Amino acid sequence: MPQPQTVSGRKLEIGLRVKEARQDISMSQEEFSKLMGKSGRHWAWKVEAGQIGLSAEQIPNAAEILGRSVQWLIEGREEVFEVQDPELRLFFRQYEWGDFTDEEQEIVRQGVKMAQAYRAAREQSEAST
CATH number at residue 2: 1.10.260.40
pTM for this model (two decimals): 0.58
Q: What pLDDT digit, counting tens, does each position of 55-103 carry?
A: 989 999 999 999 888 888 998 876 555 566 777 766 766 666 667 788 9
Clarify whether residues 8 and 69 are in a common domain: yes
Residues 69, 102: one domain? no
Q: Which contacts of 64-67 are long-range, i.e. CB under 8 A and separated by 24 or more positions? A: 64/94, 65/32, 65/35, 65/36, 66/18, 66/21, 66/22, 66/24, 66/25, 66/27, 66/32, 67/21, 67/25, 67/93, 67/94
Examine the domain organization and report whether 6 and 47 are in the same domain: yes
Q: Which domain holds residue 102?
A: 95-129
Do 65 and 2 lie in one domain? The reply is yes
CA atoms of 93 and 100, how far apart (whole Å): 13
Q: Are residues 4 and 54 in the same domain?
A: yes
**Number of separate domains in the chain:** 2
